[in-house]
Chain A
Amino acid sequence: MDRRVYGIETEFGVTCAFTGDKRLSSDEVARYLFRKVVTWGRSSNVFLGNGARLYLDVGSHPEYATAECDSVDDLIAQEKAGELIVHDLALDAERRMANEGIEARVYVLKNNVDSRGNSYGSHENYLVRRAAPLSRITDSLIPFLITRQLLTGAGHLQVTGERATYQLSQRADHMWEGLSSSTTRSRPIINTRDEPHADAEQFRRLHVIVGDSTMSETTTRLRVLTTGLLLAAIEAGTPMGDLSIADPVRTIRAVSRDKTGTKPIKLASGRTMSPLEMQCAFLAKARAFAESSGLIEQETYSWALELWERGLRAVETEQWGLIDTEIEWAMKWRMMERYAAKFSLGMADPRMQQIDMAWHDIHPDRGLYNLLAKRGNASRIITDADAKKAMVTPPQTTRAKMRGEFIQAAHQYGRDYSVDWVHLKLNDVPATTVMCRDPLVPRDERVDRLLAGIRAGTPRQDSAAAL
């Protein structure tokens, strides 16, 4: 597939530090967070002017689903824009609470686990051609997804009583199946619920729910590009060899606990392989495919292959300095080790868990990842200006462009509308529903006419196009 649609759905954790007498439940805090959304969009489940979807999910999590992107760097900008948008909601909630006599600091954490072990996700979506049988994709991809944590994990300090272990992944312990159509009851690595939000005869949406939310732009970029490159290889019919893992659920937990990548994994075939060996095998396949297909000529893929190789070398030689501005678990681990040494803290000390959580705080001037990035100690892919622009600008090369422009125009001209991933509709004009079935098409004459009709009206002064 020449162009692929990517999207990431992020569930955020929310907590509050109350500094006055009044306290609120997490449901109440979530309602304050979404007041601004409800005022703007008359619902706590909205699509935004940048094409993304923002809503209050089961369990009072704010969830932000990026618009459809066909380039990974657009995806990173849209994803970071989501952090800024939700951060604005947190500031707005603090102001509203203060006006009502509730003194609190609202924390929004882009991580995947709370202090009691409840987990919430970072779901990656990859549009794939239906021609490739799903089982061929998932058989090859699951062993990759189980071992990619060596490079794509966000790191997690797991504390049980006096014992603390630093694991590669936040999500690994919360995966219960390889494949399933459920997302909450029996969390699978790949979710098979088949909602392509596109022409279902042509496309399916591969819904990968095993990933950690990553603050690091380079780690996110590597996560999406390596997975996308393997998908392309599989779609092209590249034989991937049988690396099926005997017990995926047990293995994903074991890999997460092995920073050295050396402990053997038992395959269904009876062979054993280390996580590092398995990743090296996938890297070799991906590199060969990138070379034969010419994808290696693209900067993104040559970048990904270089970091993939260097990352595996860093793990193998335990020279984590090779990746400590690019790979999130290594960046965070370095900070935590140094913090523990500096203040003579044991790893099970609450202060260690606190800095683990604070790493994922999306506040630009308080989150530890963000502060480290400001000092130039985290490699970046986009600029702050790119992220700000993406808050109000949809990706220009996918269907999201039409959705974003429609929503902005409808708000500016005070029109009553409905949208979802596929449909655009003016509620006050009968029979105006436009269906955009191809997510890769950014322009449609029917939408042009719809927009022209809206813009022929009178703009409303009091209506903001953006949230």
Chain B
Amino acid sequence: MSGQEQQRRNTPEPEEPTPPAPAQVASEAKKDAELDSFLDEIDGVLETNAQEFVHGFVQKGGQ
């Protein structure tokens, strides 16, 4: 098995309400931009009638 990504931090860092560093702000902005491009993409795969899709999803109870 391969390919896991992980952040390793051996010691918990103290919780201090420090303002985010500029690099962190930049990386948050980059994440938001990536997510926005993802959200643009998903509109192509969703059923157009959301209400019908949601209400049509009814199962009989399982275990």
| Contact surface of A with B, Cβ cutoff 8 Å | 11, 13-17, 26, 57-61, 63, 73, 76-77, 105, 107, 109, 114-116, 118-121, 123, 183-184, 187, 209, 218, 303, 306-307, 309-310, 313, 316-317, 321-322, 324-326, 334-335, 338-339, 342, 349-351, 353-355, 357-358, 365-366, 368, 371-372, 375, 377, 379-383, 386
Contacts and interface: CB of A to CB of B under 8 A. Distances in A.
B58 A116 contact: yes
Given A17-B52, A60-B59, 12 more contacts: A14-B59, A57-B63, A115-B58, A118-B60, A118-B61, A120-B62, A306-B8, A321-B31, A335-B35, A354-B46, A357-B53, A358-B42
B1 A381 contact: yes
A377 B57 contact: no
B4 A209 contact: no
Contact of B9 (A13, A119, A306, A354): A306
Given A306-B6, A342-B39, A26 B59 contact: yes
Nearest to B27: A321
B46 A338 contact: no
The CB with the most chain B CB atoms within 10 A, among A14, A109, A316, A338, is that of: A338
B21 interface: no
B12 interface: yes
A184 B61 contact: yes
Interface in B14-58: 15, 28, 31-32, 34-36, 38-39, 41-42, 45-47, 50-58
A25 to B, nearest CB: 10
A404 B37 CA distance: 43
Contacts of B38: 335, 371-372, 375, 377
A319 to B, nearest CB: 9
A350 B3 CA distance: 36
Contacts of A183: 63
Majority secondary structure of chain A interface residues (helix, strand, loop or mixed): mixed
Contacts of A60: 59-60
Given A17-B53, A310-B9, A350-B51, A371 B41 contact: yes
Contacts of B47: 17, 105, 354
In the A-B complex, the 9 residue pairs with the closest CB atoms: A120-B62, A59-B60, A354-B50, A183-B63, A350-B51, A73-B1, A350-B50, A15-B57, A351-B50
B6 A59 contact: no
Contacts of A365: 45
A26 B60 contact: yes
Given A120-B61, A338-B36, A353-B54, A379 B5 contact: yes
B35 A338 contact: yes
B63 A350 contact: no
Contact of B58 (A61, A114, A366): A114
B5 A115 contact: no
Given A351-B50, A383-B2, A11 B62 contact: yes
Contacts of A58: 60-63
Contacts of A116: 58
A63 B31 CA distance: 36
A316 B54 contact: no
A303 B4 CA distance: 10
B2 A115 contact: no
Given A321-B28, A342-B39, A386-B1, A115 B62 contact: no
B62 A119 contact: yes
Contacts of A73: 1
A115 B34 CA distance: 30
20 contacts: A11-B63, A15-B57, A59-B60, A61-B62, A105-B47, A115-B55, A118-B59, A118-B60, A120-B63, A306-B9, A306-B10, A325-B5, A335-B38, A338-B36, A350-B54, A354-B47, A366-B45, A377-B38, A382-B2, A383-B2
